[in-house]
C-alpha cells in the first residue's frame, strides 16, 4: 500500500483539498493507498512513499525517505492523475488506465 502525504503551509486548507482530490484519483486508478495531509514542517520527515505539494514547497519538504512531486493546481484532477500515473509507471505499479 502506498503512503501519500499532501502538504501546504499550515496543513489545513489546501492540503486537505489536495488530499480529497488525490483520494478520488487513486480510487479511479484502483490503487491501494493511504493519503494524509499535513503541514510543511512535519512533511520533511514524513514516513511515506510520495509527497504532493506546491512547487514553492518542494525544496522545503524534499526528503531522503520519500519522493516529492509538485502539483501546480490542487483542484485539477487531471494533473494529479498525471503525476500519480508517472509515479506508478516509474515503479511498475499497476493501475486502471483513464478512459
Rounded-to-integer distance, Cα 52 and Cα 43, Å: 10
Burial class (CB in 10 A: 0-12, 13-18, 19+), 83: middle
Average predicted confidence (pLDDT) for the chain: 92
Which residues, 6 or more positions from 23, have their beta carbon under 8 angstroms from its beta carbon? Answer: 35
* Residue pLDDT, tens place only, 42-88: 888 889 999 999 999 999 998 778 999 999 999 999 999 999 999 99
Which residues have CB under 8 Å from 69's CB, separation 6+?
Answer: 50, 51, 52, 53, 58, 83, 86, 87
What's the CATH code, domain 2-80? 3.40.50.2300
Amino acid at each position: 500500500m502506498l503512503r501519500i502525504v499532501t502538504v501546504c503551509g499550515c496543513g489545513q486548507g489546501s492540503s486537505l483539498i489536495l488530499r480529497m482530490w488525490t483520494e478520488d484519483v487513486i480510487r479511479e486508478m484502483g490503487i491501494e493507498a493511504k493519503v494524509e495531509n499535513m503541514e510543511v514542517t512535519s512533511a520533511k520527515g514524513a514516513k511515506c512513499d510520495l509527497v504532493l505539494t506546491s512547487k514553492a514547497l518542494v525544496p522545503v519538504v524534499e526528503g531522503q525517505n520519500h519522493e516529492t512531486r509538485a502539483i501546480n493546481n490542487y483542484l485539477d484532477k487531471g494533473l494529479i492523475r498525471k503525476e500519480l500515473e508517472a509515479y506508478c509507471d516509474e515503479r511498475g505499479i499497476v493501475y486502471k488506465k483513464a478512459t
